[in-house]
Amino acid sequence: MTTTPAKPAMRPARPEFSSGPCAKHPGWNVANLQGAAVGRSHRSKIGKARLKEAIDRTREILEVPADYLIGIVPASDTGAVEMALWSLLGPRKVQLLAWESFSKDWVTDVTKQLKLDAEALNAPYGQLPDTSKVRPDCDLVFAWNGTTSGVRVPNADFIAADREGVVICDATSAVFAQALDWDKLDVVTFSWQKVLGGEGAHGVLILSPRAVARLESYRPPWPMPKLFRMTKNGKVNLEIFEGSTINTPSMLCVEDYLDALKWAAQVGGLQGLHARADANFDALDQWVAKTPWIDFLAEVPATRSNTSVCLKIVDPRVTALPADGQADFAKKLTSLLEKEGVALDAGAYRDAPPGLRIWCGATVDTADLEALTPWLDWAFATVAAELLSA
Q: What is the mean pLDDT of the chain?
A: 97
For the chain, helix, strand, coil in percent to 5 are 40, 15, 45
CATH architecture of 40-264: 3-Layer(aba) Sandwich (3.40)
Specify the CATH number of the domain 269-387: 3.90.1150.10
- Residue 2: its pLDDT value, please? 55
- Residue 4: its pLDDT value, please? 74
Is the fold of 40-264 the same as that of 269-387?
no
Residues of the chain under the 50 pLDDT cut: 1
- Residue 195: its pLDDT value, please? 85
- Residue 390: its pLDDT value, please? 59
- Residue 5: its pLDDT value, please? 81
In angstroms and rounded to an integer, the radius of gyration of the C-alpha atoms of the chain is: 22
> Domain locations in the chain?
40-264, 269-387
- Residue 210: its pLDDT value, please? 98
